[in-house]
Structure formats: C-alpha cells, structure tokens
Amino acid sequence: MTQITPYCPQQVEADAQAHWQTTRAFQATEDPEREKFYCLSMFPYPSGKLHMGHVRNYTIGDVVARYQRMLGKNVLQPMGWDAFGMPAENAALKQGQAPADWTRANIADMKRQLNRLGFAYDWEREIATCDTDYYRWEQWLFTRLVEKGLVYRKQATVNWDPVDQTVLANEQVIDGRGWRSGALVERRDIPQWFLRITDYAEELLQGLDQLTAWPEQVRTMQRHWIGRSSGVQIRFDIVGQADQVEIYTTRPDTVMGVTCLAIAAEHPLVTPLVQQHADLASFVRNCQQGGVAEAELETMEKCGYPLGLQAIHPISGDYVPIYVANFVLMSYGTGAVMAVPAHDQRDWEFARKYDLPMRQVIAPAEGTGADISQGACTDPGVLINSGSFDGLTSAAACDAIADWLIRHDKGSRQTRYRLRDWSVSRQRYWGCPIPMVHQADGTLQTADELPVVLPEDLVPDGTGSPLKKSPAFYNLGAGRRRETDTLDTFFASSWYYARYCCPDAGQAMLDERVHYWLPVDQYVGGVEHAILHLLYARFFNKLLRDEGLLHCDEPFTRLLTQGMVVAETYYRVQPDGSRDWYNPAEVRVEKDQQGRIQRAWLSADGQPVIPGGTEKMSKSKNNGIDPQRLIDQYGADTVRLYVMFSAPPEQSLTWSDTGVAGAHRFLKRLWTIAYQTGPVSGTTEPLTDTGPVRHVLHSQLQKALSDYERQHYNTVISACMSMLNALQPLVSEATARPVVQEGLSILLRLLAPITPHITHHLWSQLGYGPDILQADWPQVDQAALQQKQVQMAIQVNGKVRAQLTIAADTDESALRQAAQVHENVQRFIRDRTIRRIIVVPGRLVNIVMV
C-alpha cells in the first residue's frame, strides 16, 4: 500500500483560507436575479479573546450560511464589534489604558482568531460601534426622535455609590454594596433620557404572532415582558387633604377587601411629612438603601411604616391606613398600590407583619369557604362581604365594580403594559455621546453639528464619567453645556443588522441596499438575549421603518437561540469583601462519586478557591475557556466539528474538553479513507445498486438532509459518522469502489458547512470537482431506500417479547398470524384470551391480553 499523506490541519486550513481569500469567495453583492439569504450572528463585545461561547455561536451561524450557499442562495454573512461598554472602562481602571486602545487591540486579536476558524464572513462590511462613522447616525436618529417627540426626559431611580460618587450598574451591586467601595448602595432619582417604546407596545406584542420561525419560548417571554393587562385605575381621597392617591389593579373584584394602601417613599404625599416625623424620616432613608434590580426588590424583606394618613375607600367610604413601603417605586406606575391581604400573597404577608385587618371578599367558586388564615386565596370565585356586589362571579364583579367606579367618577378602565419606556442615558464615558446641549436658560436643544465626537484619550478613575470632568468636551461657552451622558450600548446594537447592508453609506444612516438584504433571514445568538436585545432591535426596526429608511416590519425572520456554554466559576474573597474570579483552566478540582466538587485549588499556588456554581461564560466571572489551545492542537475543523456535535444548538452546554479527540479521530479517518480510495475514476453514471451499504448511505443522507432543515446539527454529524462506518469495510474491495466514491462525495458535501477546510481539500485534491463551494447539494436515491425485509417487535400487553424479520410487504392478517406463532410469544399468550391486536406497520405488533 502506498504511503498516505498524514492529515495536517494547520496546512490544509491555511491553504483553504488562502483560496477563499484570493477568490473573494464570501464578498456579497446585491443581485436581484438571485435569491438572497442574510445570515447574521450576534456581534461580539470585544472583551479580549474569543471564548467557547463565541466559537459555538459563530460556528452555528457559519454552518447556516455555508449550507444556504450550497443550496444556491446569494448569502450575506457579515461580522462586526459591539465595541462600547463597561468592560473597557473596567480594564482602564485596572491597567490605566484608554478604553479606545484596549478595545481596538482586542478587536485585532479577536478578528485574527475568527479568521483562524475559517468563518465565511464578508469582512468588507465590518462595523465597530465605537467608530464615528457608525455612531454619528445614532446621534442623527436620536435628534430625529427628539423632533418626533419619541424622546423625553424624566427622573429615574439608579444605584448610587455614596463613596465613589458614581452610578453603578446592577451587576456592580453585590449584596447591596458597591463592588469597589463596599459602601451600602442607595437608590437615587436622577434625570434620564427615555425612548417611548411603550408607544409601540401594542405593535411589538401583535408582531410576535407573525414570527412563526422564532422559538416559541422567546415569543412567550416577550409577550410576558410586554405584559398587556386590562384593569382599573382607582382614585382614593384622603381624609383632611385635597390630594388623592391613584392605584392601578387588575383585580377590581377584590377592591372591597382593601385594608391598606402602600406608597413609595418618594411619593409627593410623603415628602411634607418627613420633616415633621423623625421616625418616618429614618424609615424613608432606609427605604432608599439597596439596589434597583427587580429581583432584589421582589426578594428583599417587605417593610412598611404608617404615614399617619387615612384614605377613604371609594365604594364603602371606610378609612384605610396609608403605609410607606420599601417595595413600591415612585418611578414605576403610579407609585402606589392597594393592599388586599385576603387575596394577594404579598399583601397577606405584609398584613401579618403589621397586624393589619384581612377582609375576605371572594369565596371559592366550588366547595366550602377557603381558609385565609394560612395564606391568601388568589383564585377567582364568588363575591362575599361586598355589599351590592355579593354573589357576582369574579369576572362579572370586575365589570360591575369598574362600571360603578366610572359612574361615580372614582376611576377609569385602562389597558396597561408591564413594559416600561427605555432609559437610554448612561453616566459613562465609553459610549456614544447623546447629541444634546443644555442651554444657558435651562432648556435643551439638539446639537448644532453632528457628529459629536467622543474624545478617545480620557481614562476613567471610577468616580463618575470623565466627560463630566472634561470642559474641553462639555463647555460650549456662553453658559451652554454639552450633555455628558452617553447612550446605552443596546442603542448601538439595535440597528447594526441594517447598517451591514450599506456600511459605507456616507450621506444617510441607510441606503437602498437594505431593501435587497433585509429582513435578516436567519439570526443566531445566545438565548440570554431573548428579551432585551431582541425587543429593542424589533423596536428600532419599526422606528427606522417609520423614518422611511426600510420597509419590513420585523428585522429577523428566523431566530436560533443558541444555548449557553456554561462553566464552573471559582473565586476568593478579598480583604475588602470583593471577589476575585479565577479561570477554570487555572483551577484543579477533586470530585466525589456523584461528580460534586469536594475541593478546588489554584494550580499556581495550591491555595483553595471557592466554587461559585456553573454559570454563563463571562468576562466578569472569568470563566471563559480559551479555544485557542484546541485550535493549535487539533485545527479549526476539529473544534468546529466538536462544538456542533456535542450538543444540539439550542441546549446549554457545560464545558468539558473530553471528546474533542474523538472529533479529531473522525476527521483523520475521513482523510485516510478518502486517500485510500484515491482520485475519482470510472463512471459518473448514477448508481443503481440497492445493496445494504447504499441503503445505509441513502437512509442516513435522508436523515441528514432533514436534520439540516431542522437545524439539528449534532445528528447531522451522527449520520455522517454512520455513513463513514458503513464505507470503511469496503475501502479495500475493488468492486465496491463506485459505492465508496459515491459515499465520499455525499459525505464531503454534507460536512462542507461544518468542516469547510478538510472537505475543500479532499474535494478538489481527489478530483470530485473544482471547488466544493460550487458543488450541487446531494440528493437521496429513493431506490436505494427500499428494503425487502423489515424487523418488527412483537409485544404482549406493551412489553417486547420477540423480534420478527419479515418481508416488508406482508399484509396485516399475515403479520398477526406470524406474531402469534412465535415461540416466546406463545409462552405469554397460552391459555389466555386475546382481546385485540394492534399493528403499527413497519414497527410492531402488540397483542393485548385480558
């Protein structure tokens, strides 16, 4: 046997990539004659190096793009950088490097790594959101939205670090304390810029029904997030005051059970009383302790303090006490809620704690009265203790009570959304400057000239935005002052998909090329973006549409939410209480028999580290795995194959590096078998052989083709492995050569989207064709699928008792006969009466006994 060139991925991959470069294989051009396919993966934040989550995301996207290309579509697959954000400022704090330099160095590194993986990107469309040519159009859009009245300014509650004198992100609040200072975080209201996304709430909700190629779970999450509800806004008068308190409820049927109102510490009713009552003042101060994250507000201990005012129940006229409560925020809703302890669990607990009366006004529709001594009864039922409303069902009472309140001018019906307007201003440096100017008279105007360029030479010091300390930036003279807040980075990532269509458009935000490419046919990204990013991008698409810049209603036709790559986290607590996170690659662990971690220590110093649980790979928890080592050792194709094989794309993947060797072994076998078979020779006529190997080949091909459509790429690979397993014994048989060649030709094309380098090499080197990118997609030979014999299971009462190999065209009565005579079956049916026999053609016969 002749010596076979060993598989050398580094060489094969460099050659293939050079070929794609010289042929400009992935540069996309608009061509109205061809069907387009726009495949987009969520662009990365340039945090440093590529981690496994990136590799997984971009490999999935690349497989989709290359698959569509092989189907003959005109494919656009761009790539860029979500380049503004907090980590650049954090790196600057640590290393004193300007965020711009850090970011651009990371972009260069990560671009090199992406290229090494062989992704089919059109790099001529590369975008970085920190480039003036990109963000100038955000500023332009912002001014347009100001003109349209879709931007406004309002107080909003933020996390305030009283020591560092800075606003903290929710992520920077750890156990109620600032991550750097360790100081107790306070809630503080400051003026912020808002976008009226709620104007689009109904359209964003309705649009979900059209997104049939989105995962149902994402649509459900967005529906709940938008959270449309029908309810009643009710006004309560206050004893001895002209002011009123307004509340909103979706359960007006329970209104007769109100025994308390709870209002926010910042509510206008509270402020005048604070000066008079020291206890109240101290309670209000306590209320302002802690962060603003909803999870924190919902899980903290609910506290209240009686304000000393009584509200007048709008129907009964009873007096109900008003409490100040730490779980009501002034900036959401009306800043007040009604409490119905008998029928709401949170209110029930609140009433227990402060010894407030409970008044049951709903009886369960069926059975005897519910016991509210153990907890609230939240189910709908029939009204009791509700005067003239007694006996109504909850549904009827909702209507009747709403009507009563409206008739007596005490309330109104309202449709509300849980969705809140989008606060887009950030008190940070490394972002797009908001193009507004504070005039000497206190009014606000849009900037005279765009772009407002962000100075790149500033270095943050952890005590607020350096822009605020940079008169060169903000001081416009004559008392005019530039806004120093920057835009939320979600602003930049909400329209990049459109800019890729025309990244060089100099005269406008978007040009006519978007009409060819949009909407995006396939969007791929982490499931963690299921709500915020995807909702904001849908919102922006509608803003851009209403601006006349694009025509589609929704930006992303099909969505694949890739599961996360998660890994264990490890940390040590520093003397100041902060946590230092260690990468799993630097940690050694000892596990017990159940696989639980017993002991973990840093390999560098042997000292223990604390396991922090498996979490999404992230910069902040330092648990990203560097894929570079694997690429160096095995090559890009092996890494691509491995990440696609080891789990279905939508499932989360707990990182472990066993199994990579198996993926590599498969590619080596493919290489060896292809070279043993040698250059393509002989007839090119379609084969007519219907032997067992071609049956395996074409039934596996059929499975692989359908799995490509279903995006079950892990089982595409399983099918390819089965095909290679079937071919392997035939390699040394000269007569089987046509079948092996056919098999390899199918296999190479099936694998081309997943492992593009090795398939490119073998295809052209062994004479299957000039360039696998131009090859036709394989097709199933139906004749090869036919089988003369099938194997069926025989069950008795649903338990498998025997196997039957029988002619595929055996009719049903013959099958019943054959099943009953089987020896082992006889043991179970002897002496007993057969009640029925169920035949599932091609699968099983089930004999049901008495």
Partner RNA sequence: GCCCGGGUGGCGGAAUCGGUAGACGCAGCGGACUUAAAAUCCGCCGGCCUUAAACGGUCGUGCCGGUUCGACUCCGGCCCCGGGCACCA
Q: Output the six-digit token pair for 716.
A: 């595409």
Query: Do residues 365 and 377 lie in contact, with contact meaning Cβ atoms separated by under 8 Å?
Result: no
Could you say which residues in the range 337-396 bind RNA, by CB under 7 A? none
- Which of residues 321 and 778 has its CB atom nearest to RNA in the complex? 778
Could you say which residues in the range 233-272 bind RNA, by CB under 7 A? none
238: enclosing H helix or E strand: strand 228-238
* Contact between 843 and RNA per CB under 7 A: yes
> At closest approach, how far in Å is the CB of 179 from RNA?
11
- Considering only 85, 178, 304, 756, the residue that binds RNA (CB under 7 A) is 85
- Considering only 717, 744, 780, 819, the residue that binds RNA (CB under 7 A) is 717
- Considering only 614, 628, 745, 764, the residue that binds RNA (CB under 7 A) is 614
Could you say which residues in the range 428-487 bind RNA, by CB under 7 A? 428
- Which of residues 154 and 799 has its CB atom nearest to RNA in the complex? 799
Burial of 256 (0-12, 13-18, 19+ CB in 10 A): buried
> At closest approach, how far in Å is the CB of 777 from RNA?
18
> Rounded distance, CA 760 to CA 33, Å?
27
- Which of residues 250 and 824 has its CB atom nearest to RNA in the complex? 824
- Considering only 95, 220, 574, 598, the residue that binds RNA (CB under 7 A) is 220
Kindly write down the DSSP assignment for every residue of 432-453, as one continuous string: PBP-EEE-TTS-EEE-SSS--P
Q: Which residues contact 110 (CB under 8 A, 6 or more apart)?
A: 44, 46, 48, 49, 50, 54
Reduced to 3 states, what is the DSSP secondary structure of residue 663? helix
Could you say which residues in the range 492-511 bind RNA, by CB under 7 A? 493
DSSP 369: -
Query: Do residues 19 and 502 lie in contact, with contact meaning Cβ atoms separated by under 8 Å?
Result: no
As a residue count, the chain comes to 850
- Considering only 9, 61, 80, 87, the residue that binds RNA (CB under 7 A) is 87
Amino acid (1-letter code) at residue 136:
R
> At closest approach, how far in Å is the CB of 508 from RNA?
26
Span of 101-109, 424-432, 631-639, 751-759 interacting with RNA by CB under 7 A: 424-432
> At closest approach, how far in Å is the CB of 229 from RNA?
12
Backbone angles phi, psi at 773, to 5 degrees: -65, -25
Which of 253, 240, 238, 404 has its CA nearest to residue 312? 238
- Considering only 266, 795, 815, 819, the residue that binds RNA (CB under 7 A) is 795
Region of 111 (left: φ > 0; alpha: ψ -120 to 50; beta: rest) is alpha
> At closest approach, how far in Å is the CB of 515 from RNA?
28
Span of 12-20, 204-212, 531-539, 682-690 interacting with RNA by CB under 7 A: 531-539
Could you say which residues in the range 42-71 bind RNA, by CB under 7 A? 44-45
DSSP 261: E
- Which of residues 115 and 614 has its CB atom nearest to RNA in the complex? 614
* Contact between 531 and RNA per CB under 7 A: yes
> At closest approach, how far in Å is the CB of 539 from RNA?
11
- Considering only 24, 148, 154, 224, the residue that binds RNA (CB under 7 A) is 224
> At closest approach, how far in Å is the CB of 646 from RNA?
4
> Rounded distance, CA 388 to CA 371, Å?
23
> At closest approach, how far in Å is the CB of 55 from RNA?
15
- Which of residues 741 and 795 has its CB atom nearest to RNA in the complex? 795
> Rounded distance, CA 751 to CA 205, Å?
39
Could you say which residues in the range 733-792 bind RNA, by CB under 7 A? 791-792
* Contact between 797 and RNA per CB under 7 A: yes
How does 756-784 read in b/e, with b if 16+ C-beta sit within 10 Å? Answer: bbbbbbbbbebebbeebbebeebebbeeb
Query: Do residues 682 and 741 lie in contact, with contact meaning Cβ atoms separated by under 8 Å?
Result: yes
* Contact between 180 and RNA per CB under 7 A: no
818: enclosing H helix or E strand: helix 812-821
> At closest approach, how far in Å is the CB of 282 from RNA?
26
- Which of residues 322 and 419 has its CB atom nearest to RNA in the complex? 419
Q: How many residues in the shown chain lie near RNA by CB under 7 A? A: 109
- Considering only 618, 622, 741, 759, the residue that binds RNA (CB under 7 A) is 618
Contact pattern for RNA over residues 184 through 213, marking x by CB under 7 A: --------x---------------------
> At closest approach, how far in Å is the CB of 56 from RNA?
12
* Contact between 824 and RNA per CB under 7 A: yes
* Contact between 331 and RNA per CB under 7 A: no
How does 318-327 read in b/e, with b if 16+ C-beta sit within 10 Å? Answer: eebbbbbbbb
* Contact between 838 and RNA per CB under 7 A: yes
- Which of residues 654 and 779 has its CB atom nearest to RNA in the complex? 654
Span of 78-86, 254-262, 398-406, 544-552 interacting with RNA by CB under 7 A: 78-86
How does 440-477 read in b/e, with b if 16+ C-beta sit within 10 Å? Answer: eeeeeebbeebbbebeeebebeeebbbbeebeebbebe
* Contact between 599 and RNA per CB under 7 A: no
Alpha-helical regions (H) of 503-645: 513-517, 532-546, 628-634, 636-645
Kindly write down the DSSP assignment for every residue of 452-512, as one continuous string: -PPPSS----SSS-GGGG-HHHHEEETTEEE---EE-HHHHTTSHHHHTTSTT-SSSSS-T
Backbone angles phi, psi at 522, to 5 degrees: -135, 120
Could you say which residues in the range 634-693 bind RNA, by CB under 7 A? 645-648, 651-654, 656, 658-659, 661-663, 665-666, 668-669
Which of 642, 233, 187 has its CA nearest to residue 415? 233
- Considering only 266, 707, 742, 781, the residue that binds RNA (CB under 7 A) is 707
Q: Which residues contact 118 (CB under 8 A, 6 or more apart)?
A: 13, 16, 17, 20, 62, 636, 637, 640, 756, 757
ω into residue 314 within 30 of 0, thus cis?
no
- Which of residues 207 and 769 has its CB atom nearest to RNA in the complex? 207
Could you say which residues in the range 272-301 bind RNA, by CB under 7 A? 292-295, 298-299
What's the CA dihedral at 554, 559, 565, 570 to 10 degrees? 30
- Which of residues 323 and 422 has its CB atom nearest to RNA in the complex? 422
> At closest approach, how far in Å is the CB of 536 from RNA?
9
> Rounded distance, CA 376 to CA 348, Å?
6
- Which of residues 51 and 410 has its CB atom nearest to RNA in the complex? 51
Query: Do residues 465 and 502 lie in contact, with contact meaning Cβ atoms separated by under 8 Å?
Result: no
> At closest approach, how far in Å is the CB of 678 from RNA?
18
> At closest approach, how far in Å is the CB of 77 from RNA?
19
Query: Do residues 838 and 824 lie in contact, with contact meaning Cβ atoms separated by under 8 Å?
Result: no
> Rounded distance, CA 813 to CA 802, Å?
18
> At closest approach, how far in Å is the CB of 470 from RNA?
19
Could you say which residues in the range 118-177 bind RNA, by CB under 7 A? 158-159, 167-172
> At closest approach, how far in Å is the CB of 522 from RNA?
19
- Considering only 141, 260, 544, 566, the residue that binds RNA (CB under 7 A) is 566
- Considering only 15, 109, 237, 615, the residue that binds RNA (CB under 7 A) is 615
Which of 147, 179, 148, 149 has its CA nearest to residue 163? 179
> At closest approach, how far in Å is the CB of 214 from RNA?
12
> At closest approach, how far in Å is the CB of 735 from RNA?
19
Kindly write down the DSSP assignment for every residue of 193-219, as one continuous string: EEE-GGGGHHHHHHHGGG-TTS-HHHH
> At closest approach, how far in Å is the CB of 105 from RNA?
17
